[in-house]
Amino acid sequence: MKQRLLKDKIFTNVMIFLAFLSGVPLFLILYQLAVKGYRQFNISFFFEEAPDTMEAMIAVANNEVIPGGIANGIVGTLIIVGMASLIAIPIGIICGTYLAENAEGKFAGLVRFIVDMLQGVPSIVLGVIGYIWIVKPVTNGFSALAGSVALSIMMLPSIVRSTEETLKMIPGTLKEAALSLGVPYHKVILKVILPTGISGILTGVILGISRIAGETAPLMLTALGSTVINTNITEPSSAVPLLVWEFYNDPNLVNMIWSASLFLLLLILGLNLSAKAIARKWKVQY
């Protein structure tokens, strides 16, 4: 008994230590970004467009805060991610519901295989797909629409899998009870099954959004970027990840790199914490 208790204690302490080690890189990254990026956090940083090289060079020479901000990137990110969500969320929920309701079908197996394959496709490949499907034949140039299509494909796997796994947790007796009362099958799905598993579905949606919010490679081949705020979805648009890449190529905008990266990291961290909060508060109930 003593040996078992000793092994249990050692194993528990090892797990705690490894869990602590896994969190160390995150805190180091947050600390580094906070120390180097907080100087640019002001009102203009969120409501003004990105500065040019000359403005940044003069500010750096005078040891001043670089004027301008990332407003064009924030607006572009909201538009692109918003359109990607409008495309991916309905398709993902419908697909996940179908897989949960037809778990043993051959077609369902094929769909599940395709979804699993999409999870492993490199993001740059999805950018090429967006370029081929939208940039060339539809908008005849780089656009926010092309970027949203590429990102929506990237969102689909997390939404589909979370929806499927959540609905599988709901006991079949709940659906049988609704059907026994004469409720049509489509209403059982829409008014009984989906509302019951809303927590898992929302968690998958938020995690999908947080995954695409920081993607750069697909947008480089589809949205391209813009130095001004652009709300036309058929024209090139900026995004915060694209701005980070553009700032990286200009030595005078190093401080903007840290600030934009800190903003993006806090945004994604907030989305992930929201997903965890939703999962805790709205568990699958029946």
User: Could you tell me if 170 and 198 are in contact, meaning their C-beta atoms sit under 8 angstroms apart?
Assistant: no
- Is 267 among the domain residues? yes
β-bridge mates for residue 224, sequence order: 237
Distance between CA atoms of 261 and 56, rounded to whole angstroms?
Answer: 17
Establish if 86 belongs to a structural domain: yes
Nearby residues of 161 by Cβ (< 8 Å), 6 or more positions away: 96, 115, 119, 204
Burial code (b: 16+ CB inside 10 Å, e: under 16) for 107-118 equals ebeebbeebeeb
Mean of pLDDT values over 113-137: 92
Residue 55 placed within a domain: no
Residue 53 lies in a domain: no
pLDDT per residue over 8-40, tens digit each?
999 999 999 999 998 899 889 889 999 998 888
Instruction: Quote the pTM value.
Output: 0.90
The residue-averaged pLDDT of 76-97 equals 95
Rg (CA), the chain: 23
At CA 8, angle to CA 6 and CA 9, rounded to 5? 65
- Neighbouring CB atoms inside 10 A of 213's CB total 20
In a domain, 62, yes or no: no
CA distance 8 to 229: 58
Question: How many distinct structural domains can be found in the chain?
Answer: 1
**Residue 237, phi then psi, degrees to nearest 5:** -135, 150
CB proximity list for 116: less than 8 A, separation 6 or greater: 157
Query: Rounded CA gap, 191 and 178, in Å?
Result: 10
Tell me the three-class secondary structure of 127-190, residue by residue: HHHHHHHHHCCCCCCCCHHHHHHHHHHHHHHHHHHHHHHHHHHCCHHHHHHHHHCCCCHHHHHH
Distance, CA of 84 to CA of 95 (rounded, Å): 16
CB 153 within 8 A of CB 118: yes
Residue 93 belongs to a domain with what CATH number? 1.10.3720.10
Rounded Cα–Cα distance for residues 148 and 139 (Å): 13
Residue 4 included in any domain: no
| 41 lies in some domain | no
Query: Hey, is 149 helix, strand or coil?
Result: helix
Residue-wise pLDDT for 212-268, tens only, equals 999 999 999 999 999 899 999 999 999 999 999 999 998 889 889 999 999 998 999
What pLDDT score was predicted for residue 273? 87
Structural domain including 245 reads 71-281
